[in-house]
Structure 1
Amino acid sequence: MGYTLIQKDFYRESGQWLSSFEIWKKCINPNLHFIYVLRKAQKYYNKPVLGEFWKFVLRHYQIKYGYQIYPETEIGEGFYLGHWGSLVINPKVKIGKNCNIAQGVTIGQQNRGKLQGFPTISDEVWIGANAVIVGGITVGSNVLIAPNSYINFDVPANSVVMGNPGTIYPNERATEAYINHKV
């Protein structure tokens, strides 16, 4: 059976494949509710009536829950928001599959310098609370970014990054037990 993008996102939370009704029941959780609305806004983004409806609904929940994530942001399947609260992701950022993002994170644009641009986050990246990731950089797969880290440089795959400025520590098991229920 082919699962929908929303089902894959919700699978990350529980490790169970859910029906549409079961997904609605889980929408009492603000994180999951926001992901549901975001995915609907992404799905209907270029549709005249449904697109405007879902963008309006998304804007309401951006304000209510404190998430600045936009429908044009490319986000892979298995997206997981670990905690409710302030989160800013530039619309031009690209995020791979099975990524976890905690509260207080900023993933944004750098306006000048050699790394001017927007980050690309690869698959299976865990981003801890209050981390800041900026610039035209790439974060490789299987990377754990520790809470309160500042990243404005490329991060190789299979790494843990800590601190401000961030320091890279190679680790083949960087996200083991941090990213669960992969799709």
Structure 2
Amino acid sequence: MFETLRDDVRTALAKDPAATSVAAVVLTYPGLHAVWLYRLAHALWARNRDFAARLVSHVGRVLTGVEIHPGADVGDRLFIDHGMATVVGETSVIGDDVLLYHGVTLGGKSMRREKRHPTLEDGVTIGANATLVGPVTIGENATVGAGAVVVDDVPPETTVVGNPARPIDERDGESENRRPVVADDGCTGGAGTQ
């Protein structure tokens, strides 16, 4: 258990250039506190102590602004930077070494009791305010850009942006599906491209 806590602190120090000391991370990082409270809630959930698990989860949400359902499956060294307004649904699966920024939603789109939330494989990064909907899989070491809305699987080692999210060619930063928009005067738009 203590090694896991140390790993979490080391991860915060490694992934946040603003982290200045172990004390600052331990005492002032709500994303880290949310993960620790999730672990307690998840342990209760696994022992069929559903009410106690939900209570710990609720307290965690009130204290940190991060809601991680106790039924979610979270791997090692998850780091939630800033954290506020992050939501992780019940059937979400998060691999090891995942980085989430604030405002991320791992949401469901089914009302049935089934796998209805995203799976993030190892090494995934999800940008601020990104929304992932349904049982999509984000492949290993993939990146979801800030504000993206993901409704389809993302292959490993791929960066997606936009609404709906689509891959970009990292060599030039252009979306593979980007088309020029023709302005009223017949010229192709520069800033108006979609």
TM-score range, shorter chain: 0.7 to 0.9
Q: Distance in 2 between matches of 1:27 and 1:47?
A: 29
Q: Helix, strand or coil: the match of 1:31?
A: helix
Q: Distance in 1 between matches of 2:48 and 2:161?
A: 44
Q: Is the 8 A contact 1:102 1:129 kept in 2?
A: yes
**1:104 aligned residue:** 103
Question: Percent of aligned positions with the same letter in both sequences?
Answer: 25
- Unaligned ranges ≥5, structure 2: 15-21, 171-194
**2:187 aligned residue:** none
RMSD after superposition: 2.9
Q: Distance in 2 between matches of 1:109 and 1:122?
A: 17
CA 1:136–1:29 in 2, change beyond 3 Å: closer, same or farther? closer
Structure scoring higher RCO (CA < 8 A, sep ≥ 6) equals: 1
Residue 121 of structure 1 deviates from its aligned partner by: 0.9
Larger radius of gyration: 2
Superposition map of 1:33-182 within 5 A: 33-47=33-47, 55-111=54-110, 117-169=116-168
TM-score (norm 1): 0.75
TM-score (norm 2): 0.71
Q: Distance in 1 between matches of 2:136 and 2:144?
A: 14
In the alignment, does 2:31 pair up with 1:31? yes
Q: Distance in 1 between matches of 2:105 and 2:28?
A: 25
- Unaligned ranges ≥5, structure 1: 16-21, 172-183
- Alignment: residue pair count: 161
Residue 9 of structure 1 deviates from its aligned partner by: 2.2
Q: Is the 8 A contact 2:107 2:132 kept in 1?
A: yes
CA deviations on 1:37-87 (whole Å, 9 max, x unpaired) are 2122223434478x8656533321212322110221101101000113101
